[in-house]
Homo-oligomer: A and B are copies of this chain.
Amino acid sequence: MDKQDWIADDLKYVWHPFTQMKQYEGDEKPICIVKGEGIYIEDIDGNRYMDSVSSWWVNSLGHAQPRLAKALYEQACAIEQVIFAGFTHKPAISLAKKLITLVNNRLKHVFYSDNGSTAIEVALKMAYQYWQLKGKASKKKFIAFENAYHGDTLGAVSVGGIDMYHKVYRPLLFDIIREKSPYCYRCPCGKEKEHCRLECLQGVEEILKARHDEIAAVIIEPLIQAAGGMIMYKAEYLTKLRELCDAYRVLLIDDEVAMGFYRTGKLYAYEHAGIVPDIVCSAKALTAGFLPLAVTLCTDELYYAFYDEDKDGLKTFYHGHSFTANPLACAVANENLAILQEMNMEEYLKPKILAFKRGLEKFRNYPHVGDIRQWGMVSAVEIVKDKRTKECFAYEEQIGKKIYSAGLRRGVLLRPMWNCMYFMPPYVITEEEIDSLLRLAYDSMREVLG
């Protein structure tokens, strides 16, 4: 089969996620990737692209990483899958132990599932049932945030706050309490950064004060609301939110699916705030982006609420997927953790984070750049029509899509969300490649915006 046949079959048989298939079929033909190495992916014609988005925020150690491939193969030759009720296996035990040892705090137990959405569903169900078991049956509500994204299963969608993705399904969702997005550049309280005193948390404080007896948990993406447009906020916000949750006896669920595993420069983003959540969800880079695998970490307090004689079966946590703790995925995650440790990842990333910080400066004076923001290995440039008023380009102008196309022509995969161009490459990117990436992104933006 030649290239045309592959693309024709793709268009005929495959319905792609988050994709308007007519548009995809039209001007923007799909790109068929056949191999990868380091931060590069290569298509069927031999074109190479710099993967600035870590293939949807998952890859960390580069593509087709040979040690991970080998760990995977060795596990597949031993045992590929084990029923995880009544039975267990070494890769899952090792991984859980390492994860708990690494955090070295109140998080003590690991519940496995398959992806970010399921890790969130586990967290929501666990938090909900916890209060039922503790005799606080009225604590049934969740607080979540505008611009939040927690996944696409209907429980995760319920706590999501991006209308375009979520609104149509409203009648299938449970009610939540929605609070303001900590969107510093477009402060919901009209403050400037220098004068911010976390006014955007006042709503949360008021609702917790008035209704804490109804509220099971607050769920939040730490430091960055990623799918909402790489909206970034201060670590102090998380610190204060933890204090409020403590004060009003409400659980804090921390969605580290995108930010965990060093994306912000630390193992988990919550560390920047000096706090410990009650529940932490992690996935994506947990396997260095090789395979779907997720974990939901929780405290003893949560765990032991379910731990009992349970004669009537009502204290069991009824959640599970057939492939829970799949040995193949766990084996890759174990090798990933070994590599991260050998590389001393936190130190390893520091010069790269600085290289981004330096390189982003060139965007500052560009007339259509409204904001530049960065947390560790994630950085973003928010493009505006008018810098003074912060007016956005209209959806129909498709700025993001045009920059995407301009990037591809230059050999770089950029995938702006709305008017937010962001950079989130595999960690193995070199400082030279960071400079090159930012230059190509700048040129792509200029090509579109003039």
- Tell me the bound Cα distance from A308 to B25 in angstroms: 11
Instruction: Decide: A23 near B314, CB < 8 A? Known: A80-B69, A117-B153.
Output: no
Q: Work out how many copies of this chain go into the complex.
A: 2
User: B55, A20: Cβ atoms under 8 Å?
Assistant: no
- Docked Cα-Cα span, A85 to B17, in Å, equals 6
Which residues in B have their C-beta under 8 angstroms from that of A310?
A: 20, 22-23
Contact indicator B17/A320 (Cβ below 8 Å): yes
Interface set, chain A 298-328, CB cutoff 8 A to B: 298, 303, 306-326, 328
Q: Are B55 and A314 in contact (CB under 8 A)?
A: no
CB-nearest residue of chain B to A66: B77
CA distance A97 to B156 in the complex (A): 31
Contact string against B for A residues 1-31, beta-carbon threshold 8 Å, 1 for contact and 0 otherwise: 0000011011011111111111110001011
A195 on the interface (CB 8 Å rule)?
Answer: no
Contact in complex: B114, A115 (CB < 8 Å): yes
Task: Please name all residues of chain B whose beta carbon is closer than 8 Å to the beta carbon of A375 when the two chains form the complex.
Answer: none
Q: What residue of chain B has the Cβ atom nearest to residue A14's Cβ?
A: B96
Q: Which residues of B contact A155 (CB under 8 A)?
A: 153-155, 172
**Nearest Cβ on chain B to A43's Cβ, whole angstroms:** 8
Contact A86 B28 (CB under 8 A): yes
Counting contact residues on chain A (CB < 8 A from B), the size range is: 35 or more
Q: Is A22 a contact partner of B309 (Cβ separation < 8 A)?
A: yes
- Interface membership of chain A positions 355-379, coded 1 if the CB is closer than 8 angstroms to chain B and 0 otherwise: 0000000000000000000000000
Extra A-B contacts (17), CB below 8 Å, given A41-B79, A117-B118, A291-B326: A9-B93, A13-B97, A17-B85, A17-B319, A17-B321, A20-B306, A30-B86, A33-B79, A56-B84, A58-B322, A64-B78, A69-B76, A72-B73, A76-B290, A86-B404, A129-B168, A129-B169
Q: Which 3 A-B pairs have the closest CB atoms?
A: A17-B320, A154-B155, A69-B76
| A residues with CB within 8 A of B | 6-7, 9-10, 12-24, 28, 30-36, 41, 53, 55-59, 63-66, 68-69, 72-73, 76-90, 92-93, 96-97, 99-100, 108-112, 114-118, 121, 124-125, 128-129, 132, 140, 151-156, 158, 164-166, 168-169, 171-174, 283-284, 289-292, 298, 303, 306-326, 328-329, 395-396, 404, 413, 415
Supply 25 A–B pairs (Cβ within 8 Å), ascending by A.
Answer: A6-B90, A9-B93, A13-B97, A13-B109, A15-B111, A16-B85, A18-B85, A18-B319, A31-B86, A34-B90, A56-B322, A76-B290, A81-B290, A86-B415, A116-B322, A118-B118, A118-B152, A121-B154, A129-B168, A140-B171, A152-B320, A152-B321, A154-B154, A291-B323, A292-B326
